Structure 1
Amino acid sequence: MKPETTLRIGIDIDGTVTEPSSIVPMMNESFGKHLRYEDCFAYDLAKVYNITEEAFQDWLSKHGERLYNEAPVHGTADSVLRGWYPHHRLIYISAREARHRDVTLNWFSRYHIPFHEVDLIGSHDKLAAAKKWQVDLFLEDRLENALQLSEELQIPILLFDTPYNQGSLPALIHRVHSWEQVEELVRTFAMNRPPLAEKSL
């Protein structure tokens, strides 16, 4: 059997490594709602909660650190990532702001989640960062990111299934329902990629 080769794996954090529903109870608490995770039909929670974008950004500014500190791990993400660490480059690219680096790294440490790079870019536009780190594939929950990255970089995207990213997908975007499924797909990709040394670094 052909051995696996090292991949540079781009990984979103929120809704990918963290449980995607974790923001809902906090939003309900703050805005007096009783919405369920299944009611989150759009990634833009300002639309879901019928508030202004400014109100949502203000909320995130005030509560972001608590959200990032309290979010549970998404499924078996921690154990899968620990299994990948000796074999692949784990590059986390997140829309979180740089000021949340400490709470992010503390959370990683608490759950023993390994990393090679953590790039908090403060924007949903991850294209430049993905190019910078030359990722071979990307793990994401936001449909708009998945579409942009797959089209511009022509790399596989593993899109975690959520209520807010439904719709038909192009061939390079694979809808996934668990970290176990992701682990199997990454193993397949690794078996079919040229060794890292054969690529320009």
Structure 2
Amino acid sequence: MLRLGIDIDGTVTAQDTFVPYLNRSFHLSITLDDMTDYDLTKLLNITAEEFWEWMNVHEAAIYKEAKLAEFAKQALDGLKEEHRLIYITARRSHLEDVTLDWFANRDVHYDHIELVGSHHKVEAVKKHGIDLFFEDHHGNATMIAKEAGIPVILFDSPYNQLPTDSNIIRVQNWLEAVAWINKNKHSLQHVRS
């Protein structure tokens, strides 16, 4: 049994979740392909402060309505039979109820959900003894792979195209992720005391 660490937004949820909200609020007509940087302030031509003011107003609704990523539900349903699913997200703690409701409403299994409130997930990864992490944010993937010393499955996106280290595995979708796990799970087993 592996302890799988899983990001939520852009990994379990569809990567284009924010697009309609951004288009409506900022009078744009962007698509996911236009999001070539994780930092949306560059695309929106606003300050970080303006972005977080917007997030404070809209993020609960965005997360409540977020669609599942393609194949995520079936993949997670299969993985839960053999592994522990531990979600570690940058969402802030005031979004806990919205997050738990989202999982319940979509019947997505979890063993634990941790809202760390920032993109610094390494401490939580170490605390939970994660064997393999799933992420869409290039910087997080790199930090977790290096500092926690574990492989990271990176879900390919226009905003994470920087080069990756050898222990970061780029996949197109959850089916590829599960295939990689099934092929490599025995080499990932850690001996626990």
* TM above 0.5: yes
2:131–2:188 Cα contact (<8 Å) kept:
no
> 1:111 offset after TM fit, Å?
1.2
The separation in 1 between residues aligned to 2:81 and 2:34, in whole angstroms, is 39
Q: Return the letter of the residue paired with 1:64.
A: E
The within-5 A match list for 1:105-120 is 105-120=100-115
Q: Higher mean Cα deviation, 12-21 or 96-105?
A: 96-105
Alignment of 1:31-110 (within 5 A): 31-110=26-105
Determine if contact 2:3/2:131 at 8 Å carries over to the other structure: yes
> Once the 2 structures are TM-superposed, how far is the Cα of residue 99 of structure 1 from its aligned partner?
1.0
Distance in 1 (alpha carbons) for counterparts of 2:182 and 2:74: 15
Equivalent residue runs for 1:1-201 within 5 Å? 6-194=1-189, 198-200=191-193
Deviations 1:114-135 (A, max 9, x none): 0000000110110111111110
List 4+ stretches of structure 1 deviating above 2 A: 191-194
Report the Cα offset of residue 167 of structure 1: 2.2
* Structure 2 alignment gaps of length 5 or more: none
Cα deviation digits, residues 24-64 of structure 1 (max 9, x gap) = 11011111111111010100111111111011111111111
CA distance in 1, matches of 2:108, 2:134: 15
Residue deviations 1:88-127 (CA, integer Å, cap 9, x gap) = 1100000101111111111111111000000001101101
In 2, distance between residues paired with 1:89 and 1:188? 18
Output the amino acid matched with 1:17: V
- Give, in whole Å, the separation in 1 of the partners of 2:102 and 2:59: 13
CA RMSD of aligned residues (A): 1.0
SS at match of 2:139: helix
Percent identical among aligned pairs is 40
Q: Which secondary structure does the structure 1 equivalent of 2:133 belong to?
A: strand
- Cα distance in 1 for partners of 2:183, 2:106 equals 26
2:88/2:124 contact within 8 Å kept: yes
CA distance in 1, matches of 2:149, 2:21: 36
Number of positions where the alignment pairs a residue of Structure 1 with one of Structure 2? 193
Letter in 1 for 2:42: K
Give, in whole Å, the separation in 2 of the partners of 1:187 and 1:45.
35
TM-score using structure 2 length: 0.97
Deviations 1:72-101 (CA, angstroms, capped at 9, x unpaired) = 000011111111112111000001011111
The CA distance in 1 between the partners of 2:188 and 2:127, in whole Å, is 20
Tell me the SS of whatever aligns to 1:18.
coil
